[in-house]
Structure 1
Amino acid sequence: MNNLNILFICRNIPVPGLRENDIILRIAKSVKKIEGVSLSVWFPCEYLPKLPFAFKHRYDILSNLPKSFLEGGVFVEKASYFRLPTLKFSYLFIKSFLFLNRKLVKQAKKYNIIHAHYILPDGKMGLYLKDRFGIPLVVTLRNGDLDKINKLSKNSLMYRNYLEVIERADEVIVHNYITEQWVLGRGRQCTKIPHGIDTSMVKGINYKKEATILCVSSLIKRKNVDWVVNAFKKVKAENWKLKIIGDGAEISKLKSLANKSDQIIFLGRQTQKEVLAEMVKASIFVLPSENETFGLVYLEAALSKCAIIGKSRTGIYGWLKEDEEALYVNSVSDLIIKFRTLIDNPILRENIQEAGFIKVENEFHWSKPIQQYISIYKDLI
């Protein structure tokens, strides 16, 4: 079969009124550009009980979401299901989507491949469609899924639902080392695919590096930006500055840690163009984030010729070679050492900058991972 008619089921995408990572929509747009491919996107939209003490913002937005909408240049259709509060019970009624979206479900028989981008609820929805119409199912296991699996009792129905999707999918895709190791540890094969980047984004840029360390992130706890501030203060690099781009719940705490230092600059939320302008000036990019599925920002920084510091065993770890194309840490004390190493050794810093740049330019253009997806889809039909 030459023509591919693909269905993406993806919960964590931006929708009107809610900010989310747009990486799945970027994949969708790139897949749609392939000749002979058509693609539809479903957004699993939960019906939440209207409780006075929880979910109000999300409830108000999702309850008023139209049946279909355009987001990031991609046409998205809403697939509603009943959801209960708390992780333990949240996805027990996923099957409700079959009767809440009868017309949409009936149309699913036209697809010859389903790609669910999270295990629950996306993958469970895909499994119901696989069983009803005999359509091959691809699922992506992300760090968010793995984090939830590890919090559940192994005797719980929810835990068994996660495992059922992973075990019965026709293909499991992962994006990083830790999820790959988890899947392989269960005796199931998987394919590791990176995210991609438009390498032309820095074409013609004149790199003029400054004594600056840059951190770009949502300022939430799991990103460990407090590590960055504390480590930078300990290093006491008089001629260097730390710039932090982003906003979030941790902003007050981080500013308090910075203690009004004129070497630590908070730039707030920035546009992509403004972020890139800071990246091409920075010498070091750091983000020791926990449970990072991939982290496209690392590729953007490497392409901007920053020396990368990430967290071991997550995110970009395993894609950029340790101590040659990037550095990795497990603690604040590790980060202090890595900062000191890169600050005190300009030749080493420049070597890592150049090696990371070459790796990303040569191996992470969007065309390569997209062809991997297409190859997987075609092999399953």
Structure 2
Amino acid sequence: MYPSKEALTFGIFVKNQVNALREQGLEVDIVAVQNPNMGKANVLKKYGKWALQTAGNLLTKGRSYDAVHAHYVFPTGMLALLYKKLFKCRMIITAHGGDIDKMAKKSPRIRKWTAKILREADHVIAVGNELYEEIHESFHVPKEKLSIINMGVNREVFKPTDQAAAREKLDLSQNEHIFLFVGNLIKQKGLMDLVQAYEKLPKDNKRLILMGATKDVRFREELEAYIKDHNVGNVDILEPRAQQEVALWMSAADAFVLPSHIEGFGLVALEAMSCHTPVVGTNVGGLRYLLNEDSGILVEPQNVSSLFEGMNKVLTDVSSREQLISNGEKRAQENDQQTLIRKVINVYSPLGG
């Protein structure tokens, strides 16, 4: 995944890491899928193009690389393996969650390939604690070749803006309680739970903003039908925005809500924390660790009542809100992209060469 002019946020976390590596003086070439569209024809076309681009790069430049870094274990790791086998370059794999939680479970053959790629890698990066443990326990990857390094938050982009000023720039009401979600518009993100929890909040002066790409047209239609049939007021569904604008929306919101059913790390929650926006998220995957110790409000997944209570707490408990902002800032500092990029570089060249 990598962004394009047509899909600004598709794989933006990979582009951010590439930019950070280049700022540290590394030379980085990219071979990636830039088309987020699904459907059999689109998938065949984009993966076929990707395979051809990789073959061209392998033949013309493969010998020149010190390391090849694959994001997602399968199928990306299969292509990375070619560089390692042919040119003996160091092979790094970053597992993001869906490749282990979903892709590896699609068939015995894919699981077998996933295991082979993880076994052949020189080092495996997991973006969260739970993912790290699953890779170690389920795929028997030794801990000495495993690291937990999330993608990190770009604090030059995701920085706090005065809420009133942010709302004025975005032409939002100063009097509404605004809840924001940013991510793909799919069922697994818990968006139906979110709409139903929002529906339970007091009716006056509230707004829910869902911002993201429509990955599942049928689910979006189902979501919009529920909103219309139940007369759920002030719900806006917006297309993806550039990161600088997303940061402004985060600063404008009273709370950021990530009600995912599964989540590898939850970088977007960290980005909201970096904007000093309290986060309500489900007790799954990386969010379980990211939001613990009062850095956010953890709620039960697929539980509308629990989600409602978490959202309501942000609005009604002023002291808790202040603590969330303070602890969220500390968490953002700990996960600053500039700090984590040094860890990635050390994985590329563990002997400092």
TM-score range for the pair, normalised by the shorter chain length: 0.7 to 0.9
2:339 to 346, 368, 374: 368
Q: CA deviation at 1:243?
A: 2.5
Moved more, 120-129 or 255-264: 255-264
Deviations, residues 265-289 of structure 1 (Å, cap 9, x unaligned): 2142153344333321211110112
Q: TM-score, normalised by structure 1?
A: 0.76
**1:38 pairs with 2:27:** yes
2:41 to 49, 56, 62: 56
Moved more, 315-324 or 201-210: 201-210
The answer to whether the Cα contact below 8 Å between 2:189 and 2:258 also exists between their aligned partners in 1 is yes
In 2, Cα distance between equivalents of 1:17 and 1:270: 10
Q: Which runs of 5+ in 1 are unaligned?
A: 1-11, 47-53, 66-77, 82-96
Q: Secondary structure at the match of 2:294?
A: coil
2:59 to 95, 100, 105: 105
In 2, Cα distance between equivalents of 1:42 and 1:199: 26
1:191 to 144, 147, 172: 147
Corresponding residue number in structure 2 for 1:26: 16
In 1, Cα distance between equivalents of 2:148 and 2:114: 19
The answer to whether the Cα contact below 8 Å between 1:295 and 1:315 also exists between their aligned partners in 2 is yes
Distance verdict in 2 for CA 1:258–1:17, change over 3 Å: closer
Corresponding residue number in structure 1 for 2:171: none
The answer to whether the Cα contact below 8 Å between 1:28 and 1:39 also exists between their aligned partners in 2 is yes
Q: CA deviation at 1:205?
A: 2.5
**1:327 pairs with 2:288:** no
Report the AA paired with residue 265 of structure 1: V
Q: TM-score, normalised by structure 2?
A: 0.81
In 2, Cα distance between equivalents of 1:138 and 1:111: 12
Deviations, residues 162-201 of structure 1 (Å, cap 9, x unaligned): 1011112111101023311211214322101122222233
Report the AA paired with residue 351 of structure 1: Q
Deviations, residues 81-120 of structure 1 (Å, cap 9, x unaligned): 9xxxxxxxxxxxxxxx7xx54x733531221212111212
Larger RCO of the pair (alpha carbons < 8 Å, separation 6+): 2
In 1, Cα distance between equivalents of 2:275 and 2:121: 38
Report the AA paired with residue 200 of structure 2: K
1:253 to 214, 219, 222: 222
Report the AA paired with residue 198 of structure 2: F
In 2, Cα distance between equivalents of 1:22 and 1:150: 26
Moved more, 250-259 or 122-131: 250-259
2:261 to 287, 290, 295: 290
The answer to whether the Cα contact below 8 Å between 1:44 and 1:122 also exists between their aligned partners in 2 is no
Q: Secondary structure at the match of 2:24?
A: coil
Distance verdict in 2 for CA 1:324–1:57, change over 3 Å: closer
The answer to whether the Cα contact below 8 Å between 2:284 and 2:301 also exists between their aligned partners in 1 is no
In 1, Cα distance between equivalents of 2:113 and 2:185: 32
Corresponding residue number in structure 1 for 2:168: none
**1:166 pairs with 2:115:** no
Q: Secondary structure at the match of 1:43?
A: coil
Corresponding residue number in structure 1 for 2:167: none
The answer to whether the Cα contact below 8 Å between 1:175 and 1:194 also exists between their aligned partners in 2 is yes
Q: Secondary structure at the match of 1:119?
A: coil
Corresponding residue number in structure 2 for 1:205: 161
Matches within 5 A, 1:213-362: 213-236=179-202, 238-248=204-214, 249=217, 250-259=219-228, 261=231, 263-272=233-242, 273-331=244-302, 332-360=304-332, 362=333
CA RMSD of aligned residues (A): 2.9
Moved more, 134-143 or 265-274: 265-274
In 1, Cα distance between equivalents of 2:82 and 2:273: 41
Corresponding residue number in structure 2 for 1:140: 94
Report the AA paired with residue 166 of structure 1: L
Count of residue correspondences: 327
The answer to whether the Cα contact below 8 Å between 1:291 and 1:315 also exists between their aligned partners in 2 is no
The answer to whether the Cα contact below 8 Å between 1:216 and 1:246 also exists between their aligned partners in 2 is yes
Q: Which runs of 5+ in 2 are unaligned?
A: 165-173
In 2, Cα distance between equivalents of 1:206 and 1:241: 19
Corresponding residue number in structure 1 for 2:170: none
| Percentage of identical aligned residues | 22
Q: Between Structure 1 and Structure 2, which shows a larger proportion of helix residues?
A: 2
Report the AA paired with residue 251 of structure 1: R
In 2, Cα distance between equivalents of 1:372 and 1:45: 27
Distance verdict in 2 for CA 1:268–1:179, change over 3 Å: same
Q: CA deviation at 1:358?
A: 3.1
Corresponding residue number in structure 2 for 1:180: 132
In 2, Cα distance between equivalents of 1:223 and 1:203: 25
